[in-house]
Amino acid sequence: MGWHRLKVGNLTKRYVGAFFYPPLMLVLALAPSAQAAEAILVNGGGSAVGNRCDFFRDIDRADRVLDAWGRVRLSADGNVPNGPPNSEKCDSSGNTIKDPSHRPILTRQTPQSGVDGAARFAELRTQVLKSAASLKPGDPLLLYFTDHGGNSSSKAKDHSIALWNETLTSTQMHDLLAEVREALKKNPATANNKVVLIHDHCFGGGMIEEELWQRPPAKDTTTPIENTCGFSPASGSEYAYDGESFMKMSDQILKSRSSKLKGSVDRDHSGDISFGEVKRYMERSYSTQSVPTSSSDLFLAKYLDAHDIHSEKNRRELLDGCALDKSKSKQLLNSLGAIQDSSRVLLETKLKSVREDLGQYYIGAGISPSTSMAQIEKLHKQRQENLRNAQNALADAQKAVSPALYAFTLKQMKSELSDRAIDLVEKALQISRALIEKLDRDDITGTEKKEIEAELQKIRETPVDTLKGHLKQTEIRTEMRRRFSASINTAAFKQFAQNPPINSDGKPAWPADCLAKHNTATKIESTALGKTHSLSRLVGAVRQAEALNQIGQDPEALNTYLKLLECENVTIGGQS
């Protein structure tokens, strides 16, 4: 329903000048009015080193997912013809191509869907206010960020996002959102238009919390900016791991041919998929190592803290065989009174979800519903520490096995590549490493940086001779990377890894048991990750249930919470 209407609206905007074809104009004049839902899509990456390939893929996914919205794309340094490298280079699978020292090879890249400007704050502010001014009554504005996230800046202790050669702090975003709300309030018809934020990056939950809520010494630190909400695949203290993109999940859901999948995502049975439903599916599907976060989750957590109801007695009374207290749930729904039906449906769906979650997470965590919250939190802390240790062990094992894989792959490829090709590749990589290390220095000037990046580009474009034809060194690196993953458990590599060459200091070039360490570490990390998943989500679900048991007695807080749920219920098609 919403999709067709929005698409007709796009046609209206596109063909409004087609006066030479009266029948078409008549059809469009009778069509429902155009939607003006607007989306600003941002990836800055910081600089060329660190601006990863998956950022560009996320921008293109967002463009595809939001095809019913008006879209502005701000990426890196913008659309600069023949400009210097602005990102890491990808192989055909979208992975960053790196040299043997694990430094990325650089290139110039823009989103396939196009780019409308640079990812700088001045441009972002201009585009956000321009889009807000073009909104029609009821139409939402969406701000989507895929970048490196930071958990604090040196001075303000804000969470932050890497734009192009600058940092965007949560304080700047808080001020910008307040400015947007003031602009929308100037027209009574758009005063209640919703603004949706998606922070698809590390520590994104912290950005949402600091953008929407004031912090001390402000007097009101519990009421968020009105009619504004947000989502992130990670909390304010967590990394968002590769492949755990909010927009990637949205894209997969929309492209799925399975009606069963879409039915499980569409929890309120509206026929449309909302951003809130995507977030919930990410939680329930265990698709992420980090815990997806939303503004309504943050509100409940803040409510608990502000009202000091974290008592063990409350928690014991809260649970009824893994279920949210049914009598209090009924009281909560009854307290809605004459509130509109859509809010009641949202709250009923939320209550049902929390009940289901509690049961599922207790089972997944392998603990009893009678376990006290103090015990749950202690166990959660222990498992998080176990996971960190397992991940550190895996990183060490990967570091040990990497030289063996590189040497083995190079040895294999020498039978296919001429000695001249190998020499050229090795020489180019040595020069690239030295230049990239220079780029990392703090005292480098802008002119020096451009000269180094230009030199790197020349090196990357140097063709090398091979027995099979003419390949660029980057293509050889891509092939080597592909073989790394293909070789790890082959019989030939196992034999090779057990007989390492001896370095000049008389020590083996890598541990003989590096492969066994790697495989053991992988299994341990996988097990620790699985055990931590359910417990992380259980802690959040219990806290939500605790807050929902109390919030029905506070009409003002309930109204704020419902507004957040309604904002989060904006559909991917651009409607509430």
pLDDT digits (tens, 9 = 90+) for 368-418: 887 877 788 888 888 888 888 888 888 888 888 888 887 887 777 766 666
**Predicted local distance difference test score (pLDDT) of residue 437:** 61
Residue 183: count of CB within 10 angstroms of its CB: 15
Q: Say whether pLDDT at 243 is over 80.
A: no
Q: H/E element holding 145?
A: strand 141-145
User: Last residue of some domain: 308, 333, 357?
Assistant: 308
158, 291: one domain: yes
- Please name the residues in contact with 333: beta carbons below 8 A apart, sequence gap of 6 or more: 344, 347, 348, 351
One domain, residues 246 and 150: yes
pLDDT for 242 = 63
Residues forming beta bridges with residue 230, ordered by sequence position: 197
- Residue 250 falls inside a structural domain: yes
Kind plus residue range of the DSSP H or E element containing 373: helix 373-413
* 17 and 116 fall within a common domain: no
Tell me the per-residue pLDDT of 78-125, one tens digit each, with 9 for 90 and over: 988 788 999 998 876 677 787 666 678 888 999 999 999 999 999 999
C-alpha closest to that of 319 among 361, 281, 277: 361
15 lies in the same domain as 99: no
For residue 554, give the nearest of 544, 562, 542 by alpha carbon: 562
Whether the pLDDT of residue 476 is over 50: the answer is yes
The answer to the question of residue 400 being in a domain is no
DSSP 247-305: HHHHHHHHH---HHHHHHH-TT--SS-BHHHHHHHHHHTT--SSPPEEHHHHHHHHHHH
Establish if 528 belongs to a structural domain: no
CA dihedral sign, ordered 16, 18, 20, 26: negative
Domain count, the chain: 3
Compute CA distances 139 → 68, 133, 423, 517, 545, whole Å: 12, 11, 59, 55, 32
Query: Of 175-184, 383-392, 431-440, which gets the smallest average pLDDT?
Result: 431-440
- Judge whether residue 24 has pLDDT over 80: no
Gyration radius of the chain's alpha carbons: 27
pLDDT band at 425 (very low <50, low <70, confident <90, very high): low
141-145 and 70-75 beta bridge pairing: unpaired
Residue 287 or residue 43, greater confidence: 43
Could you give the CA distance from residue 301 to residue 8 in angstroms, rounded to a whole number?
A: 41
Residue type, 358: L
CA distance 494 to 284: 39
Residues 133 and 13 in one domain: no
Instruction: Give the pLDDT of residue 47.
Output: 92
Structural domain range at position 426:
422-464
Q: Average pLDDT for residues 485-507, to the nearest whole number?
A: 84
The pLDDT mean for the chain works out to 79
Instruction: Please say whether the beta carbons of 211 and 170 come within 8 A.
Output: yes
In this structure, is residue 404 part of a structural domain? no
User: Band of the pLDDT at 14, cuts 50, 70, 90?
Assistant: very low
Whether residues 269 and 299 share a domain: the answer is: yes
In a domain, 395, yes or no: no
Which of 71-85, 260-274, 440-454, 486-500 is predicted with the least confidence, judged by mean pLDDT?
440-454
What pLDDT score does 64 carry? Answer: 95
Instruction: Look at residue 515 in the predicted model and tell me its pLDDT.
Output: 87
Distance CA 573, CA 570 (A): 8
- Determine the pLDDT at residue 258: 73
% of the chain exceeding 70 in pLDDT: 76
Q: Are residues 79 and 182 in the same domain?
A: yes
**pTM listed for this prediction:** 0.73
Amino acid residing at 106: L
Q: How many other C-beta atoms lie within 10 A of the C-beta of residue 23?
A: 7
Q: What is the mean pLDDT of residues 348-356?
A: 85
CA-based nearest residue to 89, from 436, 466, 408: 436
Structure tokens at 504: 């000049």
CATH of the domain at 115: 3.40.50
Lowest mean pLDDT among 89-103, 231-245, 343-357, 435-449: 435-449
| 74 vs 370, more confident | 74
Which residues sit opposite 169 in a β-bridge?
A: 160
Clarify whether residues 227 and 122 are in a common domain: yes
The reported pLDDT for the residue numbered 19 is 28
CA nearest neighbour of 568 among 339, 275, 272, 366? 275
Confidence band of 211 (pLDDT split at 50, 70, 90): very high
How many whole angstroms separate alpha carbon 547 and alpha carbon 214? Answer: 21
Torsion of CA 568, 573, 574, 576, to 10 degrees: -50
245: enclosing H helix or E strand = none
510 lies in a domain? no
Of 276, 308, 340, the domain-final residue? 308
Please tell me the predicted confidence (pLDDT) of residue 416: 65
Pair 122, 165 in one domain? yes
Give per-residue pLDDT as tens, 327-341: 666 777 776 665 667
Residue 210 falls inside a structural domain: yes
H or E segment and range at residue 458: helix 446-460
**pLDDT tens figures, 460-470:** 565 544 433 44
Q: Would you state the pLDDT for residue 142?
A: 98
Domain identity same for 274 and 132: yes
What is residue 574's predicted lDDT score, i.e. its pLDDT? 83
Residues 75 and 203 placed together within one structural domain of the fold: yes
17 and 78 belong to one structural domain: no
Residue 513 lies in a domain: no
